Amino acid sequence: MTEDEIRATAYAMPVSSPAYPKPPFRFVNREFVIIAYRTDPEALAKAIPAPLLSADQIVKYEFIKMPDSSGLGDYTESGQVLPVRYQDVPGGFTHAMYLDSEAGIASGRELWGFPKMFAQPKLEVRNDAIVGTLDYNGVRVATATMAYKYKTLDHDKVADFLTTPTFLLKVLPHVDGTARVCELVRYAPQDVVVKGAWTGPGSLELHPHCLAPVAKLPVLEVVSATHILADLTLAPGEVVHDYLATAGG
């Protein structure tokens, strides 16, 4: 392989057989259960990186089942999204994500900077409830429950919610262990088709874990529960702040 061939073809590791294809990725029948809850404002402020600013005390804890993801297959993930503002524009900061797919982890971390780690999330219907669970190496970290298809939501409002800008802190290391890339990335899903959306009674329980510390943002009060079925496209994001370029400024 010549240097020109490497430059022309390389985009991900390993070069001979990349762990994922190039974006965009289309998700069909992507299923969400989102429990919004009020948390401790001081703990929340510590988790939000500048130049983002805290916008509220309501954290969204998500379970997402993706049975048909182009190039990535079938997997499930779980995590927390924090309410933020960037230059007076409201959005969400993805604080933690746990999933059961190598391709999903590699693509999410390397391309956009999703904070993905390997774990064992599940989302399933159990009789009259939909239940999300997250285990980290066999230890229960989170449990969410929601009444199944309890009350229908307006699809247009849900589509607006799904296209809200989301921010990510992308870090890639240099060979000496220092940061070679340290950026704030913004993205928003595109071509959203909402197939179903519901609300109803919900609950959320978080447990302390040294390597999956979602409980550091404690559940003080569950505010809402939302169940969504939708198709959407995850397109390339954009860098809105380069921490290394502004170092010392």
- For the chain, list the strands marked E by DSSP: 25-38, 53-54, 58-69, 73-86, 89-99, 116-118, 120-126, 129-136, 139-147, 151-152, 166-173, 179-187, 190-199, 202-206, 221-234, 238-242
Say whether 116 is catalytic: yes
73, 30 Cβ separation under 8 angstroms: no
Among 116, 122, 149, 157, the one annotated catalytic: 116
Specify whether the CB–CB gap between 100 and 78 falls below 8 A. no
Pair 197, 153: CB distance under 8 Å: yes
- Three-state DSSP at 220 gives coil
Rounded to whole angstroms, how far apart are CA atoms 88 and 104?
Answer: 31
The single-letter code of the amino acid at 13 is M
Amino acid identity, residue 134?
L
The two most distant CA atoms of the chain are separated, in Å, by 60
Residues in contact with 104: Cβ distance below 8 Å, sequence separation at least 6, in sequence order: 66, 69, 72, 75, 77, 116
Helical (H) or strand (E) element with 46: helix 41-47
Residue 214: partners with Cβ closer than 8 Å, 6 or more residues away: 61, 79, 80, 96, 134, 141, 142, 206
Catalytic residues: 116
